[in-house]
Amino acid sequence: MKRSVRSRLRVGTALVAVGAVAVALSGCSGAGGGASGGGTVTLNLATVNNPQMTDMQKLAPEFEKTHPGIKVKFIQMNENDLRDAVTKDVATQGGQYDLATVGAYEVPLWEKNGWLNNLSDYSDKDKSYDVNDFFKPVRQSVSVDGKMYAVPFYGESSLLMYNKDIFAKAGLTVPERPTWQQIAELAKKVNTSEHAGICLRGQPGWGEGIASLNTVVNTFGGQWYNSDWKAQVTQPGFKDALTFWSGLMKDAGEKDPVSYGFTECLNSFTQGKTAMWYDATSAAGTVEDPKSSSVAGKVGYVYAPVDKTDTSGWLWSWNLAMPKTTKHSEQAWEFIRWATSKDYAKLVGSELGWSRVPPGARESTYSIPQYQKAASAFADITKTSMLAVDPKQPGVDPQPYTGIQYITIPQWQDLGNQSSQVFANVYAGRTSVDDALSQVQKLAEQAGSAQKK
């Protein structure tokens, strides 16, 4: 999962908290994607600035050629700012955006609030669109009562990547299904003044510093809440995970882990400045692109490391959604249909390179011979990891919520962001593990109490 919001905004109370801001924003020119001269409709698309979305913008002229009455204006932001801006807008009915990239976390919460259009009303009319071709876990994550309220653009789990040249030089091998203890020992051995042993996210934001850590919490036997919504942050499993994670950063990670999120680790790894990287499976496409990576063709991929569980990968998707406030729903659907179609994968491959095809969304993508060849190092592990995860119980014990690297409750956005700031102080050496867990336990208790009512 890539870059998440730093704001303290609670989705459930966004309407009250940010009304004035969003009303002001909605008054800006172009709100709602107004028509320009000649009857052309301009769609405002708020999107995260990940590589796959940047590629979408590059290819948008191809859409506009076949849809001469529609123009698409891309408003790219990092995920922190994106989620903040779009949440404000949809919560207050501002109408700034006709389309938005949203994560699997937001969809069920926003649907409950009545903020999203039901896209099944459009997709069901077009059998050639083939909704059943989307990976079932991804499709289910953006559906409520069998209806899609966003369409998957790409999906991902998590894996560990390593620089094969560095490991060959050191005479070391990485197991296909490693434990975290094995990875820690390997990271220490390849950690040098020239490159870090491993890059791990420590940057604040629930989708940055917390996303990766949560998978470690799960496999170490920890959890945020037990089945009764009692906070478990100070319990042994959670403490073991944070102690391990912060210790590995200190012993073999980047020198300033709090500054490293997805993009920073991507840059470090593709420049050969770190030996290993634990992150999203979707990163592999950029890693294997020789135009943007100095280590393309020199990377090994293994499953997400574990401790007490058999698997520990996350499940995430970036999706295209249509706020109910759009005045151009038919045109917005035309763009969604184009960008999430089977043919779009072929367009990306032929125009930009086959390793850059958005992964983890459509099963048919994995039957394209050119993609199979270009993604041979990581395609199978991505697909297997995504189908193996269990968002309802990713850890050792049952949990009262759905989610692996997040909790599907309105309070999570606030809880996760505040907690990530506290944990960042541990990574920076400003506070102890015990003190941090004590602070976060209190935050979790407050959020958990709302679920008991």
Does an H or E element contain 318, and which? Answer: strand 316-321
pLDDT at position 1, please?
Answer: 58
Q: Which of 414, 399, 405, 400 is nearest to 444 (CA)?
A: 414
pLDDT at position 38, please?
Answer: 54
Q: What architecture (CATH level 2) is domain 158-313+401-449?
A: 3-Layer(aba) Sandwich (3.40)
pLDDT at position 207, please?
Answer: 86
pLDDT at position 453, please?
Answer: 67
Domain boundary assignment for the chain: 11-156+316-376, 158-313+401-449
Instruction: Please state, as a whole number, how many other Cβ atoms lie within 10 Å of the Cβ of residue 392.
Output: 12
Query: How far, in Å, CA of 113 to CA of 109, rounded?
Result: 7
H helix count then E strand count, the chain:
19, 10
**Are residues 325 and 94 in contact, defined by beta-carbon separation less than 8 angstroms?**
yes
pLDDT at position 64, please?
Answer: 97
Query: How far, in Å, CA of 53 to CA of 450, rounded?
Result: 36
DSSP state of 404: S
Query: How far, in Å, CA of 97 to CA of 109, rounded?
Result: 18
Q: What is the CA radius of gyration of the chain?
A: 21
DSSP state of 296: T
Instruction: Please state, as a whole number, how many other Cβ atoms lie within 10 Å of the Cβ of residue 352.
Output: 18
pLDDT at position 78, please?
Answer: 85
The pTM for the full model equals: 0.83
> Block means of pLDDT (10 residues each) for the chain, length 453 residues?
40 38 32 52 95 96 97 92 90 95 93 96 93 93 95 96 98 98 98 97 92 97 97 98 98 96 95 98 93 95 98 95 96 98 97 94 95 93 91 95 92 94 98 98 96 79
Q: Give the amino acid at 311.
A: T
Task: Collect contacts of 138-142 with beta carbons under 8 A, ≥24 apart.
Answer: 138/104, 138/315, 138/317, 138/360, 138/361, 138/386, 141/104, 141/107, 141/315, 141/317, 141/391, 142/104, 142/107, 142/317, 142/319
CATH of domain 11-156+316-376: 3.40.190.10
pLDDT at position 125, please?
Answer: 93
Which residues lie below 8 Å from residue 423, measured CB to CB, with a gap of 6+?
A: 202, 209, 210, 213, 242, 246, 436, 440
pLDDT at position 443, please?
Answer: 98
Q: For tokens 């989307």, name the residue.
A: 134
**Three-state DSSP class for 67?**
coil
Output the CA–CA distances (angstroms, integers) from residue 401 to 227, 420, 425, in the order listed.
8, 20, 27
pLDDT at position 149, please?
Answer: 97
Does an H or E element contain 1, and which? Answer: none
Q: Which of 431, 391, 436, 401 is nearest to 138 (CA)?
A: 391
pLDDT at position 387, please?
Answer: 87
Comparing 11-156+316-376 with 158-313+401-449, is the CATH topology the same? yes
pLDDT at position 84, please?
Answer: 86
